[in-house]
Amino acid sequence: MRIPAALRGDFITYVAGYLLALVLTGAAFAVVDFHLAVPATGFALVLGLGFLQIIVHMRCFLHISLQRSARSDLMLVLFSALIIALMVGGTLVILFNLRMRMM
């Protein structure tokens, strides 16, 4: 039985995404479980690996593409990311600053 190229391509995308996500998850858990780094560095590593994994998920599972069409969807995602960065970043900066001043 011959497998059509398009089917194989889609399948490979999901398998690659799954394997990459497993490796990144495993790496993040390993950093914590085996105490590979001091807590501050470890947390930075975990955040970095998590960020990479989110990109893998967006690319392989959610199929957000930088090329071709569907630009309005991409704009929506990027704009939401900007809003999230502003709101989360702003909240953390202001409240940590407040805490520091009240200590």
Partner 1 sequence: MPGSMNEPELLHAGLNLGNHPPAMRQQLECSIFGFWVFLMSDAILFALLFAVFGTAIQNTAGAPSPGSAFKISAAGRETFALLSSSFTYGMVSICLKHDASRRWVGLWLAITFCLGAWFLDGEVHDFLKMFHDGVTPQRSAALSAFFVLVGTHGLHVTAGMVWILLMGAQMAVYGIDERVKINFIRLGLFWHFLDLVWVAIFSVVYLRGLLG
Among positions 1, 2, 28, 100, the unique one binding partner 1 when judged by CB under 8 A: 28
Give yes or no for residue 102 binding partner 1 (CB under 8 A): no
Site for partner 1 in 29-58 (CB under 8 A): 29, 31-33, 39, 42-43, 46-47, 49-50, 53-54, 57-58
Cα–Cα distance for residue pair 17/47, rounded to 1 Å: 19
Name the token pair of 26: 């495993």
Amino acid at 41: T
**Closer Cβ to partner 1, 2 or 73, answer by number:** 73
What gap in Å lies between CA 40 and CA 30, rounded to an integer? Answer: 15
Q: What is the C-alpha separation between 78 and 86, in angstroms, rounded?
A: 12
Q: What is the DSSP letter of 34?
A: T
Does 1 interact with partner 1 (rule: CB under 8 A)? no
In the window 62-81, what residues touch partner 1 (CB under 8 A)? 62-65, 68-70, 72-74, 76-77, 80
